């Protein structure tokens, strides 16, 4: 039987942990309105042990007096970092555009035409043809178990394309990428930078769900990647955002760690590629939400800087 002293000690520990998380900035704007105090799914032990006042959504404990100053310093540091990131990346885009003809950007793609030469309607029609081809694809074993293929969704003329890993259970059932829990978080992330799903294009490296959501295998990626390259060639985005390491490793042909990849923009021809955490990883590791927030703000700022500079 848990004694009342134990409960008080547990409550005090939890209160201290919550205050520490707040001071570290681990509650994220995207979670505004969500309780930082109580885990969403308290374990039976926690649920039994915690006094009701902690399980209820209590008002936040007082924030440390210097928290506002720390936040202002952090934001000022971020603003400087973001400005340098945008300046350096825009300069590199200009160099790439001056140096390289567009032709071979998405090399696995037999691009149907240079993106700039396609109207929005032509892009939509070309993507629809490609999607129809993907529907009957049997290039790899994933065809056997899928409910349906998951091609991509969004604006065929989007300036920003988000690339994830592979459809999960919900996506396989609904035929649309990022519609499960990770997708809901992606929607929140987009909203936080002033975008809606319809404003961007969202797709995956793989167009079919790997069983039990296992990692994509090399031969599956190899068979499926040409579809993605073709999609990208048709859309002709200004910026690409890789969600997670599988997307980044595939598109950028690297094995570098995600934290290393996040440090700067990468390039596919003259198209900058920004790498950030996968939303599903954020659900498992909420402390990565803060760096993700910085990544997507940089992405948005870069896009704004490049928009209209084509």
Contacts to ligand URA by CB under 6 A: 164-168, 171, 177-178, 180, 182-183, 204, 280
Whose Cβ is closer to ligand URA: residue 156's or residue 164's?
164
The DSSP symbol for 241 reads E
In order of 1, 132, 204, 220, the CA distances from 129 in angstroms are: 65, 5, 18, 21
First to last CA, the chain: 69
Nearest-angstrom CA–CA distance, 190 and 200: 9
Q: Shortest approach of ligand URA to residue 182 CB, angstroms?
A: 5
Residue at token pair 């999960």: 168
The two tokens of residue 163 are 């690339």
Q: Shortest approach of ligand URA to residue 166 CB, angstroms?
A: 6
Q: Shortest approach of ligand URA to residue 176 CB, angstroms?
A: 8
**Helix residue spans in 137-217 (DSSP H):** 142-145, 169-174, 181-192
Nearest-angstrom CA–CA distance, 97 and 267: 11
Nearest-angstrom CA–CA distance, 82 and 107: 30
Whose Cβ is closer to ligand URA: residue 168's or residue 237's?
168
Q: Shortest approach of ligand URA to residue 280 CB, angstroms?
A: 6
Minimal CB distance to ligand URA: which residue?
Answer: 164
Whose Cβ is closer to ligand URA: residue 166's or residue 268's?
166
Whose Cβ is closer to ligand URA: residue 154's or residue 167's?
167
Whose Cβ is closer to ligand URA: residue 57's or residue 169's?
169
- DSSP lists the bridge partners of residue 203 as 152, 163
Residue at token pair 């599903």: 280
Q: Shortest approach of ligand URA to residue 181 CB, angstroms?
A: 9
Whose Cβ is closer to ligand URA: residue 271's or residue 281's?
281
The two tokens of residue 190 are 């987009």
Q: Are 97 and 90 in contact (CB under 8 A)?
A: no
Whose Cβ is closer to ligand URA: residue 180's or residue 286's?
180
Q: Are 25 and 71 in contact (CB under 8 A)?
A: yes
Nearest-angstrom CA–CA distance, 310 and 297: 21
Q: Shortest approach of ligand URA to residue 178 CB, angstroms?
A: 4
Q: Shortest approach of ligand URA to residue 227 CB, angstroms?
A: 14
């Amino acid at each position: 039987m848990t004694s009342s002293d134990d409960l008080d000690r547990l409550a005090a520990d939890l209160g201290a942990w919550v205050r520490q998380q707040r001071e570290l900035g681990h509650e994220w704007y995207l979670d505004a309105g969500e309780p930082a105090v109580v885990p969403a799914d308290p374990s039976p032990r926690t649920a039994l042990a915690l006094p009701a006042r902690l399980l209820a959504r209590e008002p936040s404990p007082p924030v440390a007096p210097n928290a506002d100053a720390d936040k202002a310093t952090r934001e000022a540091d971020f603003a400087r970092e973001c400005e340098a990131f945008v300046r350096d990346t825009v300069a590199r885009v200009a160099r790439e555009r001056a140096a390289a003809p567009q032709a071979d950007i998405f090399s696995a793609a037999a691009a149907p035409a240079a993106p700039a030469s396609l109207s929005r309607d032509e892009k939509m029609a070309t993507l629809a043809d490609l999607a129809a081809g993907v529907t009957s694809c049997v290039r790899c074993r994933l065809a056997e178990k899928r409910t349906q293929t998951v091609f991509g969704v969004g604006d065929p003329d989007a300036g920003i394309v988000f690339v994830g890993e592979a459809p999960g259970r919900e996506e396989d059932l609904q035929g649309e990428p990022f519609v499960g829990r990770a997708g809901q978080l992606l929607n929140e992330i987009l909203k936080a930078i002033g975008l809606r799903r319809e404003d961007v294009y969202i797709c995956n490296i793989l167009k079919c769900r790997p069983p039990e959501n296992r990692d994509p295998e090399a031969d599956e990626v190899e068979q499926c990647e040409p579809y993605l390259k073709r999609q990208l060639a048709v859309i002709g985005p200004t910026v690409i955002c890789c969600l997670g390491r599988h997307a980044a490793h595939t598109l950028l042909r690297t094995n570098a760690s995600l934290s290393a990849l996040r440090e700067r923009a990468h390039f596919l021809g003259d198209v900058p590629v920004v790498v950030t955490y996968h939303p599903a990883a954020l659900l498992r590791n909420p402390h990565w939400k803060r760096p993700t927030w910085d990544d997507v703000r940089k992405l948005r700022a870069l896009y704004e800087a490049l928009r209209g500079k084509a």
